[in-house]
Structure formats: C-alpha cells, structure tokens
Chains A and B, each alone.
Chain A
C-alpha cells in the first residue's frame, strides 16, 4: 500500500459515500438480471463418496442445530454449502491453491502463490477455513469464513524457505529470460500493485499505440521476483514476432523491451522493433484506424506534433454507438456537440500539456474510428468544463 497520503483515504472513502444516487442505482441494476442464484447442487450429492456423505450428514446435524438456535435458514444453507466446498477442497489440490490465491488477492496482492494449504473447520457454529499461504518471502496464516470467503484474520511471518526458492528460480530463469536481471533479489521491497493481467494490458497498449492493430495474439505473463522492484515478465506472440517486456509492478512502466522475429526454421532472431514495418504490415487488414493514427489526426487538428514530448495524447476507442452507451457528455462537452451521433465506433481523445508542474488538459477531440475523420475538437478555456470549439 502506498502511504503517500494516508489522511486522504478516509476523505476519499467518505466522498464515495456521496456518489450520485443515479450511479448507485445503475450499479445495483447491473447485478440484478445477471446474478445467478447459488443453489445446492443436488446432483453432486448423489455421487459423493461414502466418507463425504457421512461428513455431510454430520454437518447437516450442525446445520439443524444452527437453524434451531439462530432461526436462520441462511445459516443452514451456508453450512451445507460449506460441506460441499469441503468435499471439493479435499478432492482437488488445485482448489486449495486457487483459494490461497483468492485470499491473497483479497488482501491486496496478486502474484504467484508458492504454496497453499487449506483446512476446513468450525469456529463455534461458523464454518471456517484455516488457510496457509507462502509467497513473496512471507507465510500468511488466515482464517476465513467458509461460506462468504471473507478473511476474518490474518497473521504474517517471515518465510525461511523463501531465499532457497528464489535461488532455484533465479538459476532456472537466468537462462530463459531474454533480458539481464539485477543481481540481488529483494523480496522485502519487491511488492508492487500491478497484476500480470494489467501488465499485459500495458504491453498491448504500447504495441497498439505503435500502430500494430493487434487482434490475434498469444500471451504469457508471470511475476518475476528476481528484479527489484518486482516486474512482470510478458511475452506476446503476434504476426511472426514475439515481443518480450519486463514491466515494473510499482510504476507500471515498461523497463525492458525486445521484439524477436520467428524465422523459417523456427529459431528466434532478435531485432530491434521496427514500428514502421509493423504499421505497414497490419494497416491493410485493420477494420479501424490505430490509436497512433487517431493521435496523429488529433495532433494535426490542434496544431501540435504527435511526437512532441511537451504533450501527451490519450485516445480511447469505444465500439458502442454513443446513443446506446448512456454517455451524456465528455468533460462538459455535450454529445450533440461532438459530432459522434451518427457513427458506431469512435476515439475520444484528450491532449495534455506537460510541464514541471504536472499535466494540464488542453484539448478534447473526437475521431471516427473507421474513417479517421476528426469530427470535432475543443480547446480548454481554462477549466475542465468550459470549452471553445476549434474551427473546421
């Protein structure tokens, strides 16, 4: 957790409590039609082994007792569901590992769990799991509610086997990674917030920004503990190339990058990444203009160079027609002013100026994602809600 402004957490948490009721209602509606009722899988009950059946019967007695004492049918349902979970847990080791990962994810981490064990039990009438998880140089002992999977308590201790694990992993990886890595792993400081999936998004974003128009690709990602801070190692295959990247789990920045071409004899040949080549290769087969093309169009419209380091252009594509999306305005610019009403796919772009004092939103622009036409562009009048339309 970043302690950059601990005082801000309660302020922001309280402010979220003031969110417009329309948005709260919207969120509640999102779940209503799709929520699946969780019911006891009766089919499973017929095929469980005898020992499990006996266990289930014993737990059902507890469930009856719970119903009698608490008069709460939900409690009985939870106990029966817990019994089911227990059967699943005993049947499949991978389930325990998944549970360990889920628990660690709940605590704010998302990385490979080294070892995970889970045992079922009761705390009073409450069904619980005692979960032991090892990762990142620590062992975690957790007690969680078996029905809700909510963590009730957590204890963290140093994991003495960690260094040995790192040593083994390091020896294995050193020969595999296409990058040099730092000498000394440091599990204490190597904890970032970035998940492997988010890192994959960053690499994809980077590649798409360079005009590749990626659509079909293969992706591999894993946390690399051996750098400090930890990185995610991503490999992505597309169009005869494999792209490798190490992405910092703290800052989210790509710290190492390399593209390798798959040659005819299937051996890898390392080459510097040639964005113009890729732009050429993929441009004809794309349904939409790439994000970099959208950025170039916006830059031309507002009169700056797309590669000017003093500016930062952010474009995001939406494939839902604006009339169906529920969007009413962009930073105060109403939908009718954007000129997007008659098209299905568009880029909404923001142009920021960069200075030592930070970034400042200067322009908004809206681009037809199929034709590349800039439908409208606006210059800030000094605030984030007042805009002046740029002339055609």
Chain B
C-alpha cells in the first residue's frame, strides 16, 4: 500500500492503517531501534510505541515522508528508552562509541547550551545542505540511524576506511561550522 493511502486510513481513523504501517515499516523501525538498544524486547516496545505515536499524531500531522517521519519517532523513543535503561543501570549498552564520535563535533569555543533548540536544528540542516549528498547520507546513517561502520560499508559498497574518513571530515566541518554559527549568536 502506498504511504498516501496509509495516511488516508489514519485520517479516517481506520485501525487497519496500523497493520499496514507495521507490515511496511516495522522491520526497518526495529532495526533502527536495535542499533540504539541492546534488547530485542525493548526495541519491540519502542516500535509499538512508535505505532501508537503515529496513530496519535496523524492527524493533525500529515507528513510528506511517512517512512522518515516514522524513523524519527522510533529513534527518539529508543534514545529515551536507552537513557532510562542507563539511569536504572539496566543496560551496558555500547553507545559509548557513538558518544565519543559525537563529542568530536562539539565546538571548543562555543557551548551548545547557548543555542536555542530551533537554532541548532536550522544550523545542522543548513550545514547538511552543503555537504556532498553521499557524505551526507553516510553521516545521517551513522548519527541519525546509529548504523555501524560495517553496515554502512556493506550498504554503500565503500570500504570501512573510506566511510571513517568521510565521517571524520564531515565531523570536522560540522564542528567548525557550529563554532562559526555560535559566534554569531
């Protein structure tokens, strides 16, 4: 079923929309959630919560891209779940590797806390607009979808070292960009 048809069903409050949604995207959503969480059952819960969130948010929302919209929701729910698990010491998740990489993008001279959330979103989107499309997709796969280097390598056909190199360059550029943006605040 096309995404527009699923959205139509959601607008009509037809519960078959959820089954259609799950049939089409649950596998993708679970994979994304498992990239963040180390528990299949937690990932299942996040996917279920995502379906509920989609049911509750459409309408009034009418996303242009249902797949990306769903991915965003499951990512954010999974991160919240991870935070909860770590706070309760229920998980020894390996997200440390992502944290160390994300730290490399934080400017030295500017505190990100000074950015308003909307400013930071605009700054990142504006930065990504000028990044080469392939490098941008690799960046999004790593830091939005939390995919492993080996997965991205398999998906794209690039060597792992090339992927690391692309990410390293994009990280450096983003850090410099945020430094400059921060100075104009």
Which residues of A does B touch, CB under 8 Å? 1-9, 11-31, 34-36, 102, 105-108, 110, 148-154, 193, 195, 197-198, 201, 318, 325-332, 357-361, 383-385
Contacts and interface: CB of A to CB of B under 8 A. Distances in A.
Given A4-B108, A9-B106, A24 B164 contact: no
B38 interface: yes
A23 B113 contact: no
Contacts of B99: 1, 9, 13
B57 interface: no
Contacts of B168: 195, 198
B19 interface: no
Nearest to A151: B94
B124 A15 contact: yes
Counting chain B CB atoms within 10 Å of each CB, which of A154, A358, A361 scores highest? A358
A143 B185 CA distance: 46
B79 A30 contact: no
The secondary structure that dominates the B interface is helix
Nearest to A328: B129
Given A21-B64, A21-B72, A102-B150, A198 B100 contact: no
Given A5-B106, A327-B130, A19 B144 contact: yes
Contacts of B132: 318, 325, 327
B165 A27 contact: no
Nearest to A360: B180
Contacts of B103: 1-6, 8-9
A197 B28 CA distance: 32
Given A28-B28, A151-B94, 12 more contacts: A2-B103, A4-B108, A13-B79, A17-B144, A18-B121, A21-B65, A24-B65, A26-B136, A34-B155, A36-B154, A198-B168, A358-B183
A4 B175 CA distance: 13
B144 A27 contact: yes
Contacts of A318: 132
22 contacts: A1-B99, A1-B103, A2-B104, A5-B112, A8-B106, A8-B113, A12-B105, A16-B143, A19-B125, A21-B64, A23-B144, A27-B138, A27-B145, A28-B68, A30-B134, A30-B155, A108-B96, A193-B100, A195-B161, A195-B168, A198-B165, A384-B180
A259 B130 CA distance: 36
B129 A26 contact: no
A34 B112 contact: no
B83 to A, nearest CB: 8
The secondary structure that dominates the A interface is mixed
B113 A22 contact: no
Contacts of A195: 161, 164-165, 168
Nearest to B105: A12
Interface string B105-141: 1111101110101001100111011101110111011
Nearest to A143: B92
A37 to B, nearest CB: 11
A193 B128 contact: no
Counting chain A CB atoms within 10 Å of each CB, which of B63, B106, B176, B177 scores highest? B106
A21 B94 contact: no
Contacts of B162: 197
B137 A4 contact: no
Contacts of A23: 125, 128, 136-137, 140, 144
Contact of A35 (B92, B140, B155): B155
B15 interface: no
A106 B97 CA distance: 6
Return the 4 tightest CB-CB contacts between A and B, nearest first: A1-B100, A197-B161, A27-B140, A21-B68
A102 B153 CA distance: 13
B149 interface: yes
Contacts of A13: 79, 98-99, 102, 143
A153 B164 CA distance: 24
A325 B133 contact: yes
Contacts of A384: 126, 177, 180-181, 184
A27 B102 CA distance: 19
Given A12-B105, A26-B136, A30-B134, A198 B128 contact: no
A106 B72 contact: no
Contacts of A8: 103, 106, 111-113
